[in-house]
Amino acid sequence: MTGEPLDFTNWVEGEPNNYEGLEHYAAMWPWQVGEWNDYAHDFQNLVLIEYIPNDMPEEPIVEGTWKMAPMPGALRVGPTPYSGDWWSNSADDVQIRGCYFDDYFVFNADGSFQNVLGDETWLEWWQGVDAEQCGMPVYPHDGSNPATWDFNEETGQITLTGMGAYVGLPKAVNAGELPNVDVPESVTYNVTLENGMMTLVIEAGAGVFWTFDLVPALDGEAVYFVKEDYADVTNPENWDHVTESVAIMRGDNQGLYNPYVEDSYNGLGPSGTLWSPGPTSDSNGMNYMEWVDAIGGNAISLPDPNNTPQLKNLNSPTQLVLTYL
């Protein structure tokens, strides 16, 4: 919902009454002659709902520091864009290739680009190792050469210029896969930005499409938030702020909601968020859902702390781990 005020209402007398604090949807009965009543989200009837994510950026933003999304399928290859038919990383790979999933791809405001790999990254046989393993970055794919980036919004393409600069995998270049082709001076990727995730696709030779899902790299240490019992839910100091338009709040009972746009639990969960049950390592971009579904449909009987839901904010990829006490 956009939160804009209505310029017309036609409620039945005494409505809306928000019975038990769960009625956040309007309905009409034939015998009420076009007048409105309010109902809960699980009311058995056909409904039409407008949903507009809060404060989505007007233009895609590439600038910043990105890393591979730590989830299954973030790195994949197949015969078509976005396909992982031939191979994709597993949940175990996120741990096994930890030296790869912590690499940074930095798109600086001045147009310069950096591969920040640290002491180790993931190496393949063509880089001089006997088997795939973590190891010291190998020139020219070690971030030592100066590079620049350019985003063409009309074509939806990012071009990196500078020998050895890459996003995703160093071997995937436009002419083919290294070492079968020469290291190029530039590499161009097709890019989409949606829900805080950046997805790059490169055709590495004819009919070989590598796809990389990236998320912004979060700086700093973990932030812990605890709401005191019976705290004033209208005081923003008692909200767990996630972004400028999303905060997490729970009253003295019922479920979570977003106090920026809601006064209480709406039967689904905080607006502007999607959730995945279980550990972050088990989640992927396709299994996020409304909070009420992630916790099993019962906002009163909250989940076991060992199986807490993970947050995917629609406006940024912030991950939030909730522990219920």
Q: Write a three-state SS string for 214-272.
A: EEECCCCCCCCCCCCCCCCCCCHHHCEECCCCCEEEECCCCCEECCCCCCCCCCCCCCC
Q: One digit per residue, pLDDT tens: the chain, 325 residues?
A: 445 566 778 888 888 887 766 676 777 777 767 788 877 766 666 555 554 444 444 556 899 999 998 888 999 999 999 999 999 999 889 889 999 999 999 999 999 999 999 999 999 999 999 999 999 999 999 999 999 999 999 999 999 999 999 999 999 999 999 999 999 999 999 999 886 789 999 999 999 999 999 988 866 555 667 777 888 888 988 888 887 788 888 887 778 889 988 888 888 888 888 787 765 555 555 567 788 787 777 665 554 433 444 454 434 444 444 433 3
298 dihedral zone (left: phi>0; alpha: psi -120 to 50; beta): beta
Residue among 192, 190, 168, 142 at smallest CA distance from 69? 168
Distances (CA, A) of 229 to 232, 250, 251, 273: 9, 10, 9, 24
Query: Which pair of tokens denotes residue 142?
Result: 């070690």
Specify the 3-state DSSP secondary structure of 125: helix
CA distance 220 to 25: 40
Q: Are 310 and 280 in contact (CB under 8 A)?
A: yes
pLDDT the model gives residue 180: 97
DSSP assignment, residue 170? T
Query: Which pair of tokens denotes residue 176?
Result: 């083919």
CA distance 137 to 167: 14
pLDDT the model gives residue 15: 85
Q: Are 89 and 97 in contact (CB under 8 A)?
A: yes
CA distance 300 to 136: 50
Q: What angle do CA 45, 312, 261 make, to 5 degrees?
A: 60
What is the pTM assigned to this prediction? 0.58
Domains of the chain: 1-52 (no CATH), 64-216 (2.40.128.280), 236-313 (no CATH)
pLDDT the model gives residue 291: 80
Specify the 3-state DSSP secondary structure of 198: strand
pLDDT the model gives residue 255: 82
Q: Are 273 and 313 in contact (CB under 8 A)?
A: yes
Q: How many residues does the chain have?
A: 325
DSSP assignment, residue 316? S
